[in-house]
Amino acid sequence: MPTEVKGGAGRGAFITFEGGEGGGKSTQVQRLVAALRARGVETVATREPGGSPNAEALRDVLLAGLVAPLGPAAEALIFSAARIDHIDNLIRPALQRGAFVVCDRFADSTRAYQGALGKLSETFIDGLEKVTIGDVRPDLTFVLDLPAEEGMARAGARRGRAAADRFEAEAIEFHRALRDSFRAIAAAHPERCVLVDATQGIDEVAADIWAAVCRRFPAVAVASLPT
Ligand code: TYD
């Protein structure tokens, strides 16, 4: 019988991973999901843009750069349209049945990429976030932080000979500003965000993340591993 672990009142827990390119988010999502499942916690792993069939279709359009010519406001709207579908069809139902949802990128990415770098007003981003996510706010957000040069080198090595996508193709100044923007988001929301030093090795980063999950959800810490 798995230990019942719930994040907040009457619902599961929502954990997001954020940061620039090459910070190892996907690896850390996998590690955390495996650790939670090993303790009998029902856990849904997902990502943005995407996570539901309609949102995955919009992902292709966005990452191919087809919306870029319309400007950052239009891009923010299409990322948000994908997010609404993802929330309605996957995230909210999972939280309602008490599951943990671990998501690779969420609304902070729109705030950093389209908002800060696209020079959209805070009023625009705040309003968009409010109508898009409503009360589906993350309980805990990991911001994986590393210098832009290191992140881009890692992303390039991972990509090999494949073409860079819409955002990977941006100049290094863009990625430096992106890092500043994610750090500012983490500083503005200390109750929700944990800034993680992503220059460390994979195991050290995973250990920092696990410690923070156990602090935020003490029931997870005492859930026993199968014998
Ligand atoms: P992905 O290949 O998943 O990149 P990463 O491994 O860095 O997460 O592509 C997602 C890209 O979309 C990434 O460059 C960030 C960007 N993005 C936005 O610009 N706004 C958003 O709201 C989201 C969710 C992602």
CA atoms of 204 and 200, how far apart (whole Å): 6
CA atoms of 65 and 127, how far apart (whole Å): 24
Could you read off the pLDDT of 62-119 as tens digits, one per residue? 999 999 999 999 999 999 999 999 999 999 999 999 999 999 999 999 999 999 999 9
| 15-222 CATH | 3.40.50.300
User: For residues 49 and 222, which has the higher predicted lDDT (pLDDT)?
Assistant: 49
What pLDDT is recorded for position 127?
98
What value does the mean pLDDT take over residues 11-15?
Answer: 94
Kindly give the number of the ligand 1 atom that is closest to the alpha carbon of 21: 7
Closest residue to atom 14 of ligand 1, CA basis: 167
105 Cα: distance to centroid of ligand 1 (angstroms): 7
Residues in contact with ligand 1 by the CB-under-6-Å rule are 21, 25-26, 48-49, 63, 79, 104-105, 109-110, 113-114, 167
CA atoms of 49 and 78, how far apart (whole Å): 10
What is the residue-wise DSSP string for 83-152? HHHHIIIIIHHHHHTT-EEEEES-HHHIIIIIIITTT--HHHHHHHHHHHHTT---SEEEEEE--HHHHH
What pLDDT is recorded for position 4?
59
CA atoms of 24 and 45, how far apart (whole Å): 15
Among the listed ranges 16-30, 48-62, 210-224, which one has the minimum average pLDDT value?
Answer: 210-224
| Kind and range of the H or E run holding 13 | strand 13-19
Residue type, 58: L
- Angle between the 25-38 and 202-216 helix axes, to the nearest 10 degrees? 50
Strands across the sheet containing 100-104: 43-47, 100-104, 13-19, 140-145, 193-197
121 Cα: distance to centroid of ligand 1 (angstroms): 20
If you search the block for the tokens 């997902």, which residue do you land on?
46
Closest residue to atom 6 of ligand 1, CA basis: 21
- Angle between the 53-63 and 72-86 helix axes, to the nearest 10 degrees? 160
What value does the mean pLDDT take over residues 53-59?
Answer: 98
Mutation pick for ligand 1 pocket among 79, 109, 132, 168 (CB with most ligand atoms within 8 Å): 109
Share of the chain above pLDDT 90, in %: 85
List the domain boundaries for the chain: 15-222
Gyration radius of the chain over CA positions: 17
What pLDDT is recorded for position 170?
84
What pLDDT is recorded for position 167?
84
Local confidence band at 2 (pLDDT 50, 70, 90 cut-offs):
very low
What pLDDT is recorded for position 134?
94
User: For residues 81 and 4, which has the higher predicted lDDT (pLDDT)?
Assistant: 81
Could you read off the pLDDT of 149-196 as tens digits, one per residue? 999 999 999 889 898 888 888 889 999 999 999 999 999 999 999 999
Main-chain phi, psi angles of 43, to 5 degrees: -135, 130
What value does the mean pLDDT take over residues 7-33?
Answer: 89
What pLDDT is recorded for position 1?
40
What pLDDT is recorded for position 10?
55
What pLDDT is recorded for position 7?
53
CA atoms of 13 and 89, how far apart (whole Å): 16
